[in-house]
Amino acid sequence: MDRTKTPRLALTRLFPPDVMARARRDYAVVAENTDDVPVDGPRVLAMAAEADAILCAAGDPMGEATIVALPASVRAIATFSVGTDHLALAAAKARGIAVTNTPDVLTEATAETTMLLLLGAARRAAEGERMVREGRWTGWTPTQLMGLQVSGKKLGILGMGRIGRAVARMAHGFLMEVHYHNRTRLAPELEQGAIYHSDASSMLSAIDMLALTAPGGASLANWLNAERISLMREGVVVVNSGRGSLVDDNALIAALHTGHVAAAGLDVFANEPRLDPRYRECVNTFLLPHLGSATVEARNAMGFRALDNLDAVFAGKEPPDRVA
């Protein structure tokens, strides 16, 4: 990086301490979100007024209207996420703004969260935790909070990218038979024994539990709808660590009430944090506040990867994780 002119950086979020320290060390931070209140488009533009680059995060309003209105000084946007659905990539490319994401580094943490959702939902962990915390537990009984065993079940995975494959590897530790549906079939060495279904209907009819790990997008909007839920056997467990947009909330909530879906574990929601309030009313849900990558190790690695990409841009090199 050329130290004769330190690049000016706007930080739309309060990032982990080690990430903030490196950003302040290597860049002239001209704006930062110290209160960590989610930003809106006008605030992004105000923060970027004197910036050469923006470090943003998932959920920030980096749509076309924001990108088009950014000052000419902005050369790069690094998002603290793998997903880019909050970014108008075509608009950024049209303006010559480099956009990068942070793949690879959050794979294990998000896969762990997926397994947490699966175990928490199947074993009725939320109900049990509330019982103990609220002082309603009166002792062990033979029929208390009987859930579903995860070990040995058939797990379907929608989306066998890095996270889906990590979930499959962890599921093998629970002696689960893994099935998957993907746009394309994986190479045998990546499948690791997982059973491929070119047709989603075939996978759904074969499984006991479903994990949604796909990255979302318009083609997968409301993918888990009433029709697909009906293809699964009675008492299926559904978990979502991918995107809230993958699920038709009306259909899933209805199935939770009838018991066709025995339990759901959700870490992501449409319109989060304003999730459909009916999920909170379903006793058979295990709900988390988008914790997928929330480990010290993963979040630091995400921030460092984002800064690595910005370093490359301002050193005149091609950033390794460029998406636009």
Q: How far from 101 is each of 53, 82, 310, CA to CA, in Å?
A: 14, 5, 10
Query: Are 131 and 137 within 8 A, CB to CB?
Result: yes
Greatest alpha-carbon pair distance for the chain in Å reads: 72
pLDDT at 256: 98
Using alpha carbons, select from 108, 102, 73 the residue that is nearest to residue 87: 102
User: Rg of the chain's alpha carbons, rounded to an integer?
Assistant: 21
pTM of the model: 0.92
**Domains of the chain and CATH, by start:** 8-105+296-314 (3.40.50.720), 107-287 (3.40.50.720)
Q: Which residues are catalytic?
A: 243, 272, 290
DSSP 8-state symbol, 90: H
Ordered per-residue pLDDT tens for the chain, 324 residues = 455 589 999 999 999 999 999 999 999 999 999 887 889 999 999 999 999 999 999 989 999 999 999 999 999 999 999 989 899 999 999 999 999 999 999 999 999 999 999 999 999 999 999 999 999 999 999 999 999 999 999 999 999 999 999 999 999 999 999 999 999 999 999 999 999 999 999 999 999 999 999 988 889 999 999 999 999 999 999 999 999 999 999 999 999 999 999 999 999 999 999 999 999 999 999 999 999 999 999 999 999 999 999 999 999 999 999 999
Q: What is the pLDDT of residue 304?
A: 98
Beta strand spans in the chain (E): 8-11, 28-32, 53-57, 76-80, 98-100, 154-158, 177-181, 195-196, 209-212, 236-240, 261-266, 285-287
